[in-house]
Chains A and B, each alone.
Chain A
């Protein structure tokens, strides 16, 4: 009964909180804001101080919510009526939030906002809601690409792979089990975007029937074979998350992995110029990589929508946005900020920009949240460990999409 007890306790706390909020917010407006930064160097309090100085009468309570339970907390807070006024949000959550009626449309506010012209092209288009309304204001972006060890490639006389065939070939040549493996696959939570580079590029799509067509099943089988037959992926892959794939790459246990520019600083600190990056390989006739978005939204239940909008638009403006990104290690969404970009080495910025033409987001439907949150990893882990076949895995995921 631990769960129920906690749930009940949570409800009780939420209720007292809500009561306190209702009575205590008479004069100064307080904007409650949720975000998630992994980086210990957190510039948020400086940003808040700068904002409060420019906007007397508005106070900002910014809370860093741990990433692993960020959405669990956000959804339950929204339902429990104790949600923040604004928060950092990703696109995969948008259909669910729209279905809940939790988001405040921002279109008019964005149009009247001077910062709009400074946003990078196309970002607002990518961020549109499933119903065509603008709810999200972009705040940072990344694109997944392939990290590789320049020294290992040079020693083996290899070039960074441009196609899936090259990729497999290189992975096989670089693998010296159990010391070094060709590729660090993220088989645990959040690994779907690596997998997408191999499967969504070859006929797979997150729509009814889009996963069960023969090409998609074969592409998925190819990934499983990398692990089970070719053995170019560390045996720990089914349980590996972000920490593990980056840890193994830094330790020289893997020669390639797929992640975004957010980890480049960390990798350069460990490996210096022995690490570089190229766009993910072209597989079959297609190329797909994940556009990793992060946006800001105002919630429809907020009593301080205007103040909340002022705060989130502040975060998306020029130098503020650069300061924000210095904490997350991601890319700014402003043209003025991008002009003089010093946060990352050039080679990683290049790999990101070169990947943009084939960077995609997942289709926005209700199944996407569950696919990203739990379904992909449970299915993938069982396929990797031989409990189900590629066909069964794809049928299971298809059933989710077809709901």
Chain B
């Protein structure tokens, strides 16, 4: 997000002043140009493409259809399934990552032997490439040869092997668990940094006043890390919403449509079926939805934080 703040341009007529006044713009220009060319231009192109019936292997049959793709989209049951899956996907993954990250950060903030090693190790899931994680977890979940079912059967938690990724009621949650595992170190590290910024004297004063550790957490720790939570949460919502690599590798969107999220559906339509018109219509719709969510989130949360 780069916002150019308007400065008072009309009040400086002299060439010297004008040059000094322009300096920030010159400095910003390369970044703006690059962003415009590789982000905004394709975005505009995507919006235009979404008004066409464009199937890439039939370039000659391409024609303008106006809102045709969007009308088709809203009557497409897969779109609604994917939208609902996206809501669950974001709605569960981000809070779970945040919760797990918070617990981890509080643990890591205490004194214990080998703490620095633990801090380094915790980063591993976050540092691994998504595709590696997806393949790894695919084997962990495998009902025939995977370790998870073996453990659960050994502990008598389940009777037979559970097909985690092949059951339409479980697959999405299984992938969410994987992504939670991948993403919680990000929160842990961010929150840990926030925790270390809270002055010790506040806790000392509170314990002198007889505040329990729960009340200390509620009234000192939480407000202290609120700005971190708000910012990291927003970043994660955007990343998780857009990330489809883990789903794609683990289930390919299946079984059936049960792990289709909107970005994945757009990807499958555009890249695998080469239906770029429809694929971009999905992507544009999702961008608008996510954009509005982010706007509301920013308006509300940031106001809370700045109080």
Which of A's residues lie within 8 Å of B, judged by CB? 1-5, 7-9, 11-12, 72, 75-76, 79, 96, 99-100, 177-178, 187-189, 234-240, 244, 247-248, 251, 253-254, 370, 373-374, 377-379, 381-382, 384-385, 387-388
Contact = CB atoms under 8 A, between A and B. Distances in A.
A37 B168 CA distance: 32
22 contacts: A2-B244, A2-B263, A7-B42, A8-B39, A8-B41, A75-B274, A76-B56, A99-B57, A187-B255, A234-B143, A236-B143, A236-B161, A237-B163, A239-B255, A248-B145, A374-B272, A374-B273, A377-B254, A382-B256, A384-B255, A385-B167, A385-B256
Given A75-B274, A178-B161, A5 B39 contact: yes
Interface in B138-175: 142-145, 160-163, 165-168, 171
A337 B128 CA distance: 45
Contacts of A254: 144
Contacts of B263: 2-3
A9 B242 contact: no
Contacts, number: 133
Interface string B240-259: 00111000000111111110
B270 interface: yes
A133 to B, nearest CB: 18
> Which of A12, A244, A370, A388 has the most chain B CB atoms closer than 10 A to its own CB?
A244
Contacts of A96: 57
Contacts of B273: 370, 373-374
B166 A235 contact: yes
A7 B266 CA distance: 12
A375 to B, nearest CB: 9
Given A374-B272, A378-B256, A239 B171 contact: yes
A188 B145 contact: no
B144 A2 contact: no
A184 to B, nearest CB: 9
B83 interface: no
Given A235-B161, A373-B272, A378-B254, A8 B167 contact: no
B145 A238 contact: no
A384 B166 CA distance: 10
Nearest to A379: B256
Contacts of A382: 168, 255-257
B254 A188 contact: yes
Contacts of A75: 56-57, 274
B56 A244 contact: no
B30 interface: no
A385 B255 contact: yes
A236 B165 contact: yes
Contacts of A12: 38
Contacts of A378: 253-254, 256-257
Contact of B43 (A4, A239, A377, A387): A4
B191 to A, nearest CB: 25
Contact of A240 (B41, B162, B166, B268): B166
> Which of B160, B252, B256 has the most chain A CB atoms closer than 10 A to its own CB?
B256
Contacts of B43: 1, 4
A384 B171 CA distance: 14
B18 interface: no
B257 A253 contact: no
Given A178-B161, A188-B252, A253 B168 contact: no
B123 to A, nearest CB: 23
B271 interface: yes
Nearest to B257: A378
A189 B160 contact: no
Contact of B165 (A5, A239, A374): A239
A236 B250 CA distance: 13
Nearest to A78: B57
A265 B244 CA distance: 35
Nearest to A237: B166
Nearest to B38: A8
B252 A189 contact: yes
A240 B145 CA distance: 12
A4 B47 CA distance: 11
> Which of A12, A238, A384 has the most chain B CB atoms closer than 10 A to its own CB?
A238
